[in-house]
A = this chain, B = another copy of it.
Amino acid sequence: MNIFASSLYIYTVLLMNIKSKRLLAIKNIISSQKVSSQEELLFLLQKGGYVTTQATLSRDLKFLKVAKVPDAQVGYVYALHEASSKVNEELSVDEFPVSGIESMEFSGNLAVIKTKPGFANGIASVIDSHGLYEILGTIAGDDTILLISREGVTKADVVNALSLFVPGIRSKVV
């Protein structure tokens, strides 16, 4: 199977472009160790294969709302805020999620998909864009997608349909 011809590739590109990956790497690094300057972060990113400049880091940190906080040990540390701090705790620097999806559960002809914060809209629109027969439509909040499936369609059908372009999707409740 040529994955570059598959919708998996399209999905991946849509959600995980270079910048997104770098942002995720930044999150992972600063949540796993004390980083006290952008220069230091720059070096750590390079070790992970991300080559960029201090200017871009400054913008990235602003985008991520990463705070610079006084710290007893090293003077200052960069810190994520509450909401984003536990997002990627199980991920190492070198492993990136190909999906922002956390879980999926059904209730009747509805499914509730939990995503990483902020991912719901993006993922929902990817789902919508495939125009799947099984899925009537979706509504997305910030980290939750409500998916309405067509009458007569089973939960397995929906999972199967989504699994075509959502890697590793699996329903918690069967």
Contacts and interface: CB of A to CB of B under 8 A. Distances in A.
Interface in A131-145: 136-142, 144
A13 interface: no
Given A138-B144, A141-B140, A146-B137, A151 B108 contact: yes
A151 B75 CA distance: 49
B107 A151 contact: yes
Contact size range, A: 35 or more
Interface in A32-63: 61-63
B144 A139 contact: yes
A37 to B, nearest CB: 13
- Number of this chain's copies in the complex: 2
Contact of A61 (B70, B81, B138): B70
A140 to B, nearest CB: 6
A36 to B, nearest CB: 12
Given A137-B112, A139-B141, A148-B110, A62 B67 contact: no
A131 B110 CA distance: 19
